[in-house]
Structures are given as C-alpha cells and as structure tokens.
Chain A
Amino acid sequence: EAGVAQSPRYKIIEKRQSVAFWCNPISGHATLYWYQQILGQGPKLLIQFQNNGVVDDSQLPKDRFSAERLKGVDSTLKIQPAKLEDSAVYLCASSTGPNTEAFFGQGTRLTVV
C-alpha cells in the first residue's frame, strides 16, 4: 500500500515570499490532516478535512495560511507571505475516518530566511 506522499521534501524561501505544499493521501482515506512541527516540539494541528469539508481549522493562521482539498483527495497548504517563524516541518496525514489509525507523510521542511 502506498503511503502518504508529500512534496517538496525541502524548501528554502525568503520572508514575505509565498510557498505551497502538496499532499496526496492514501487512496480511500476520507480524513486528511495538516500539522506544523517546529524544531523540538510536537506536531501542531493546523487543519483537518473530512472529504473536502473542513472539520477544524481553529489553529490555522488564516491571515497568511490557506488550505484546500479539491475533490476530497489531494490537498495543498499555502503560506503567503511567509515569516521567519513559519520555519518548520509541515506534515500531512490521512486516515479512513474518525478514531482510526492515521498515517503520516515524511513532511516538508520549510526554512524561511
């Protein structure tokens, strides 16, 4: 079974630039999560989708972050404009539904300089 695919693996941008991350969940997984993990901390949930609807985006900084999940499959997370404090690993995960095992991708490491 193919895992959760994320791209790119690494990205370096200057502050005030924009960046987008892509996630392809495991086929058939209805729930998709985006997390931000700052060095030395646990992953922080940014947004959770159920199919193409948003279940929770309470921790998403909506003035600069946006996410979409068109057709309930792939998802993109965008930051515009980026700040230095956005430097982190952005993790995508998917699961078949509530209270089931979630599978995580390798993450995208973002460095804002």
Chain B
Amino acid sequence: DAKTTQPPSMDCAEGRAANLPCNHSTISGNEYVYWYRQIHSQGPQYIIHGLKNNETNEMASLIITEDRKSSTLILPHATLRDTAVYYCIVRAERYRDDKIIFGKGTRLHILP
C-alpha cells in the first residue's frame, strides 16, 4: 500500500505557483520522497526527489518539513501543460525494499 496521502484534486490559475501537499507521517529514516506526474495518455514522469533537505531543479521545488512527515511540491509558474495527476511516493534506499508504489495522486487542473 502507498505510504502517502494526497488531496484528490486541486485547481491553480495559470502563471501562479501550484503547491501540492503530501502527507507521509510513517516515513522511515532511510526513505526518500519522490514526485512523479502523469499527463493524460502518457507514462508517469519523474519530477524531483529528496531525503530531508529542500531540493530544486528546472521543473519544481520540493519542501520537506523538518520532521519529514509531510512535503510540498511547488511548480513556480504553472502552465496549462502542467495539468496532470501528481504522485508523491516514498522509496527505501536499499534495493530489496525499493519499490515504486503509487497512490491515487492529486489531479491538478491549471485554469487559463
């Protein structure tokens, strides 16, 4: 079962920052937080991941709380092409425990 909880859907105006929350209150010390998104009729696409420090790349920023029980994915300037289902996933570091288990995700609608 997925170890994360996300809101089922969110709306965001085009050009504004989209902030997608994720709860992972049972995360273990060796588990990473990963984010993927799935645009309609495509396979999931990796966005970003982190352990405890905040991370930023060309697509998004990831903010992880100090207790690591929740995180927020930030798309700084959302465009219509960011409309997708966003999945927050917890992954273990050791390969025998490393499985990519998807939950239901958050369906993000970018409004023109």
Contacts and interface: CB of A to CB of B under 8 A. Distances in A.
Interface of A: 4, 31, 33, 35, 41-45, 48, 50, 55-56, 91, 93, 97-99, 101-107
Contact of B101 (A41, A45, A106): A45
Nearest to B105: A42
15 contacts: A33-B100, A42-B85, A42-B104, A42-B105, A55-B95, A91-B44, A93-B43, A93-B100, A97-B95, A98-B93, A99-B98, A102-B46, A104-B45, A107-B42, A107-B43
Contacts of B95: 31, 50, 55, 97-99
A106 B92 contact: no
B81 interface: no
A101 B55 CA distance: 15
A93 B105 CA distance: 18
Nearest to A56: B99
B21 interface: no
A97 to B, nearest CB: 6
Given A42-B87, A45-B99, A104 B93 contact: no
Nearest to B103: A42
B1 to A, nearest CB: 11
Nearest to A107: B43
A41 B46 contact: no
Contacts of A93: 43-44, 100
Contact of A55 (B2, B44, B96, B102): B96
B91 interface: yes
